[in-house]
A and B are shown apart, each in its own frame.
Chain A
Amino acid sequence: MTRWNNGLDEVERVSPDITDETNALPARYFTDPDVHEMEKDAVFGQYWVYAGHANCIPDSGDYFTRTIGDREIIVLRNHDGEVQAFYNVCAHRGSAIVEETPMTDPGNARRIQCPYHLWTYDLDGDLASTPRSFEEAPLNPDLEDEDVPELDAEENSLMEVHSDRIGPFVFVNFADDPMPLAEQAGRLETELESLPLEEYQLARRIVSEVECNWKVFGGNYSECDHCQANHQDWVENLELLESELEVDDYHWVLHYKHKEDVDDEMRIHDEHEAQFHYFWPNFAVNMYGTADGYGTYIIDPIDEGRFQLVADYYFRESELTEEEEQFVRTSRQLQEEDFELVERQQRGLQSGAIAQAQLGPNEHTVHRLHLLAQEAYETYDA
């Protein structure tokens, strides 16, 4: 049931089973600055989070940076051709090393060098060299040059972040001993790895700032009950009632059937449908029914009331055709329609009137999102 803020401040847990009760995540988890701070560790510090696309760093020494919560990392391809992730923090005195480098415009380096005191690291993160001032101590009267300890390359390496891949998608995990990515991904891994995702190139990135909590947008993405009323152009060619929603432990898929079959060559996957995959906590893969390509969303929190939607589009060639340009414009129109909806929902949540909303019977994907958030908070508090 809905719980208004009637002075009792009564809320309950997210219902364990949506067929029983339908409690949503209490409203304060969408509006409280303390929750935003807590989520940096409880959510984005514990689960596998998308870092970027391996195709953007094809050669040894290619790298980009990514900031997740307060953690800034370098994602790079080492000399063996493997993708690794490191904190962008020098082992010397903690300086950030490389400048922010987006995946859309990656850098390349033979070695990673901190500009502060020129500590230099190999592409596998090991300390490769330091200036002479770290090998001798002419300025220190209490220390002879021969007493200066030699710096161990591994002990003074960059701090590595757990990373793993599903096809070209690179994920990172900041937990000390994380569950395997395969366990968090479940069926998503086999579904995505059956597709030739590597054959497609990043062609376009559009970043938008939206005034709502990241989970509000995640919930909106996860259901299409709102589509008939709010995406009228898009649903015209869909059989919404024949859609399927498939829920796994940490991901869910929305399958949309097209009214008429479109050319098979117009899509990366075989089924005559569009597939929208949501992967907890904030990554989505969009398999379109009407374009030979796919897209990804990163739903990146800025604070409790804002997030960035990072929308990437992958096509056969990085140069867009006119049809692909039009496709991206249509996708953008859908995003803007959604932005209006989620900002309106955020205003309602922030009004203080509602303490806890309820979910509909077909919103089991949204329920999963809320349940995972609650479980993350409870695990963190325990």
Chain B
Amino acid sequence: MSPQQQAPFAATCPDCEVTSDATEANEIVDFYRRHHRHTGHDVVVARADIAFDVPATDDVLAIVDALDARYEDGVPVGIVVAAASEQGVTVGETLDAIREVRLTGALAEPRDDHLTAV
């Protein structure tokens, strides 16, 4: 990617006021984890250039259910995070919600950081 091109995804820490650009949606999640490890801060999605419409809900199960057919091996967690952010939900809050639903058995992780509805 040349420096002139804008990365499709970006996340920002409102406390530190730092932003990280990301080529893939899951890089937002990686950034959150690294940043949270050092600061305890949550981060928000600042930009998500997704090529299709995402469901207008912050219900992570509904988001995965709606997008499942688009992905052979699970919906990237970063896409779920980006979709939920449209409803004002932070990255950390979405990851917590995903964990809660996974523990009910309604979501599975066919590969790392990819989700499918059970």
Contact = CB atoms under 8 A, between A and B. Distances in A.
Interface of A: 65, 67, 100-105, 205-209, 300, 302, 308, 310, 332
Nearest to B20: A209
Nearest to A208: B18
Contacts of A102: 36-40
B16 interface: yes
Interface of B: 13, 16-18, 20, 31, 34-40
Contacts of B13: 207
Given A100-B36, A100-B37, A104-B39, A209 B31 contact: yes
Contacts of A100: 36-37
Contacts of A302: 34
A308 B40 contact: no
A104 B34 contact: no
A108 B34 CA distance: 22
Contacts of A67: 37
A272 B88 CA distance: 49
A206 B12 CA distance: 12
Contacts of B18: 206-209
B50 to A, nearest CB: 22
Nearest to A332: B17
A314 to B, nearest CB: 16
B16 A205 contact: yes
A205 B31 contact: no
A161 B66 CA distance: 48
A321 to B, nearest CB: 18
**Which 10 A/B pairs are nearest by Cβ-Cβ distance?**
A105-B40, A102-B40, A206-B16, A208-B18, A100-B37, A207-B38, A209-B20, A102-B38, A102-B39, A104-B39
A230 B93 CA distance: 40
B8 to A, nearest CB: 16
B31 to A, nearest CB: 7
Contacts of B37: 65, 67, 100, 102
Most buried by A among B16, B17, B37, B39: B37
Contacts of B16: 205-208
20 contacts: A100-B36, A102-B37, A102-B38, A102-B40, A103-B38, A104-B38, A105-B39, A105-B40, A205-B16, A205-B38, A206-B16, A206-B17, A207-B35, A207-B38, A207-B39, A208-B16, A208-B18, A209-B18, A209-B34, A300-B38
